[in-house]
Amino acid sequence: MFLIEPTVFGDSRGYFMETYSAREFQEAGITKAFVQDNQSRSKKGVLRGLHFQTRHPQGKLVRVTKGTVFDIGVDIRKGSATFGKWDGAILSDENKQQLYIPEGFAHGFVVLSDIAEFVYKCTDFYDPGFEGGIRWNDPDIAVEWPIDSNMEMILSDKDKVQPLFQQYLAGNR
């Protein structure tokens, strides 16, 4: 995964920044072409993930245009040195950072602000027939979600029943 901090040019009128430059991304080793852009809006406590595609895996360049989220990726590439490990970052409209999550990673985020708008570019098209997931609170992966005890967690019905990591592995040998 790569944390990307764009150069922001600001003055009394506001700011300007490049959110994507193929040349700069290629120089950083991100060579896949992006084919689809997605956007979501969610309220505080919404947790989406951990999602991936078993075929046509998607690399994702994610950023927040309004609010704050904690965004993570979990390496599910068998044989990888970081297999089963997670990494994450706080992304917000204030810090303007972006996170690149490569193909072969499960992805998820939780909204920490009242509202968050989340935008991401994908390296392949979404295919619902090959969608997969792992439970967000899997004890083996042990993501350290920054959730306080007062926060109401809001999950889709699908995300509430995703398999644990070991169950996913047992079903995909």
Active site residues: 51, 120
Q: CA 115: distance to chain centroid?
A: 17
Calpha distance 15→6 (Å, rounded): 12
Phi-psi region of 45 (alpha: psi -120 to 50; beta: other; left: phi over 0): left
Give φ, ψ of 68 to 5 degrees. Answer: -140, 135
DSSP code per residue over 38-62: EEEEEETTBEEEEEEESSS---EEE
CA distance 25 to 79: 25
Strand 115-122 with 36-43, pairing: antiparallel
